[in-house]
Amino acid sequence: MTRTCAKLLLLLLAVAAPLSSAAASSDSQARLSQAKVMTTAAVNLHNWLHKTHMRAAAVEDSRGLFLKEDGIRAALRANEKCNTALLADYFKDPAAVWEKLSNNAIDQEKRMAIEAVNIAKDWIRGEKVSPHTLDIIASARGKRWIIGARLLEDLYQNQEKWGKVRKPFPLWEDQKTAFNAARKENPGLKPPKPLPPMRELLYVGGNWNDGNRLTFDVPAPWLHYFKNGLAGVNPKGELAQIAVIGRARAADGREYPSIAFRDDALPIYTNRFKNFLELAMELEETEVSLLPVRDFVEVTDYTARSELTSVGLENAQAFNFSDPEHRKQAITTVKEMKTVLVQALEEELAKLPDSSDKRLMQSTIKALNADQQNLVFITRQRAADEERIARQYRRASADAAAIGLFKAHLEEWEKSEEHPIPVGCPI
């Protein structure tokens, strides 16, 4: 017997002692009163175990959300570290530059959310809104891509605005080709400002428009190609990376220049800020969804500690319900207390003459011993209906077995599959 169990029995005997002194003329009445106190204590221990079983299931069900939150947070840290490293080649203070850029992106995200609501209101009121605009603003993916494209253009074309420049951003190969061609006609022409990486500036795909069509402003160097009938396209340039330049023949036999996006180059609809915002907003949404869960765990911790204190468990205030090891230790101790108390109660009842009170307590003991998994909430009154208790126990046992089987399959699936959260950097 542990010290806690021994202390509990001494406590119960102390509670019963005044009754024994006051009713010295009736020893059996005193024993009956003591047995009732012990029965109530045993039922309280059992029901604490039952409630703990239910609470633990709720906490375990939310464990996936906490793991998801940890995964998103880790991916976001990796994303920020990667983006800072990408800036280190071009800025002396890359961390400060990334902080400004990411804060700007988040601010734009919130402003565009308001803008999307206003555009939707205009559309509902019947005001003219282009389907393209409505689709872009209403789409989280499109909205975040737009934010990223705008920020990247500002970053690359106004580099000194964002931080201490280590070296300038490079020009596209197609920018160099178009500039060299234009400079032949205009020797005093100034070099163009750099453009963001091609795959972060373009949106190509059939998501907003039918078919694989351009849904972005055509970059200036490509306009040069188009004006010249796709002549002189740099085979090492950016356009050649995603498109096949050729000749097609019309129905009348005339040839004309053609351009087709390569299948292996599509789709193109991402950039570093879109990826960052998706992680940042998903983390924010997950944190909000976990607020009631955290409140539940906090309240459950407080309630469990109070209940454990009331049943005499030592160090109850150090109990952390969300910690499986703490919970396991507390359950083991309370189960031991219940077992010792029920055994002592059985010995006490054996000394009493037959009575309705004694039979009710015997029914309670029978119910307590039958429900070793603590699946049923028991009261002394309900315990008398043994058939009802048996039905509840069978139903609860079947439910527990089904849930256990489902969780076993789920854990097996989780072990066999990888579910990494994409970091989204580099592109």
pLDDT-derived band at 175 (thresholds 50, 70, 90) equals: very high
Q: What is the pLDDT of residue 412?
A: 61
Q: Residue 246 in 3-state DSSP?
A: strand
Backbone angles phi, psi at 261, to 5 degrees: -70, 135
Can you tell me the distance from the alpha carbon of 195 to that of 142, in angstroms, rounded to the nearest whole number? Answer: 20
Q: Which residue has the higher pLDDT, 242 or 327?
A: 242
**Worst-scoring range by mean pLDDT, 42-51, 93-102, 218-227, 409-418?**
409-418
Q: What is the pLDDT of residue 211?
A: 42
* For the chain, domain boundaries: 3-66+295-416, 216-265
Q: Which residue has the higher pLDDT, 187 or 395?
A: 187
List the structure tokens of 245: 């330049």
Rounded to 5, what percent of the chain is helix, strand, coil?
70, 5, 25
pTM higher than 0.75: no
**Worst-scoring range by mean pLDDT, 312-316, 386-390, 423-427?**
386-390
Q: What percent of the chain has pLDDT over 90?
A: 24
pLDDT in tens, 118-142: 766 766 676 666 665 555 555 556 7
pLDDT-derived band at 231 (thresholds 50, 70, 90) equals: confident
Q: What is the pLDDT of residue 393?
A: 65
Can you tell me the distance from the alpha carbon of 205 to that of 201, in angstroms, rounded to the nearest whole number? Answer: 13
pLDDT-derived band at 392 (thresholds 50, 70, 90) equals: low
Can you tell me the distance from the alpha carbon of 384 to that of 377, in angstroms, rounded to the nearest whole number? Answer: 13
pLDDT-derived band at 386 (thresholds 50, 70, 90) equals: low
33-49: average pLDDT: 87
**Worst-scoring range by mean pLDDT, 46-55, 123-132, 335-344, 398-407?**
398-407
Q: What is the pLDDT of residue 17?
A: 46
pLDDT in tens, 283-323: 998 888 888 777 777 777 777 778 777 766 667 777 777 67
Contact, 426 vs 270, CB < 8 A? Answer: no
**Worst-scoring range by mean pLDDT, 169-173, 221-225, 351-355, 389-393?**
389-393
Q: What is the pLDDT of residue 22?
A: 46
235-262: average pLDDT: 84
Can you tell me the distance from the alpha carbon of 61 to that of 73, in angstroms, rounded to the nearest whole number? Answer: 20
Residue 102 CB coordination number (10 Å): 20
50-77: average pLDDT: 80
pLDDT-derived band at 161 (thresholds 50, 70, 90) equals: very high
Q: What is the pLDDT of residue 302?
A: 76
171-198: average pLDDT: 93
